[in-house]
């Protein structure tokens, strides 16, 4: 198992669309294992392949709380098949946009289909944090970041601050 480097904005890989995967080959299983280790190490509750520089449609998620048992989801080619008109607002952060959080409005509930590690198609319906996290990760696979869902003023302020931080880290 390997902890991978997490790409930060403005890395162009975060703005690219990831490609569909054939199925759970050894290579894909290794990437998903490394993504899970990278997510837990960060720590974060989700990670999309773009964030580790891999343009494949792969995500890992574990939204369980500290009191609960771990609940690791590894998904190949996840797709939102239905979403509610009803919206919910939740504070989001992103490992690729360190130290910046913002409220994001998204559909409250989603139904997601994906391929599991056995190559079978599965469906999952989610609400609350898991719903927001699934939408956040599937956005990443399409080159979309949570800051794209907030006001331009807030977005530009976050981008400016992250770039300033990057410049200061180089000094």
Query: For the window 78-107, what string marks contact with Ni ion as x by the rule CB under 5 A?
Result: ----------------x-------------
Dist. CA 47–CA 78, nearest whole Å: 13
Q: Which stretch binds ligand GNR (CB under 6 A): 27-35, 88-96, 111-119, 155-163?
A: 88-96
Question: Which of these is catalytic: 92, 99, 122, 137?
Answer: 137
Beta bridge partners of 79: 113
Q: Does 47 bind ligand GNR (CB under 6 A)?
A: yes
φ, ψ of residue 131 in degrees (nearest 5): -60, -45
Q: Is 137 part of the annotated catalytic residue set?
A: yes
Q: Which stretch binds ligand GNR (CB under 6 A): 76-84, 132-140, 152-160, 162-170?
A: 132-140
Q: How far is the CB of 161 from Ni ion (least distance, A)?
A: 17
Reduce the DSSP state of residue 146 to 3 states and report it. Answer: helix
The whole-angstrom separation of Cα 150 and Cα 61 is 23
Spatial distance between the Cα atoms of 93 and 98, rounded to a whole number of angstroms: 8
Positions marked catalytic: 137
């Amino acid at each position: 198992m390997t902890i991978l480097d997490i790409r930060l904005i403005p890395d162009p890989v975060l703005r690219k669309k990831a490609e569909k995967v054939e199925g759970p080959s050894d290579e894909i299983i290794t990437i998903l294992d490394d993504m899970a280790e990278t997510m837990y190490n960060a720590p974060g509750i989700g990670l999309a392949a773009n964030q580790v520089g891999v343009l494949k449609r792969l995500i890992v998620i574990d939204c369980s709380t500290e009191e609960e048992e771990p609940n690791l989801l590894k998904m190949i080619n996840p797709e939102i098949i239905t979403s509610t008109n009803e919206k919910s607002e939740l504070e989001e952060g992103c490992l690729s946009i360190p130290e910046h959080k913002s409220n994001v409005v998204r559909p409250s509930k989603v139904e997601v289909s994906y391929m599991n590690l056995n190559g079978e198609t599965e469906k999952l319906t989610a609400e609350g944090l898991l719903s927001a996290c699934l939408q956040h990760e599937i956005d990443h696979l399409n080159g979309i970041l949570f800051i794209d869902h907030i006001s331009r003023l807030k977005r530009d302020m976050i981008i400016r601050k992250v770039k300033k931080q990057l410049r200061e880290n180089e000094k």
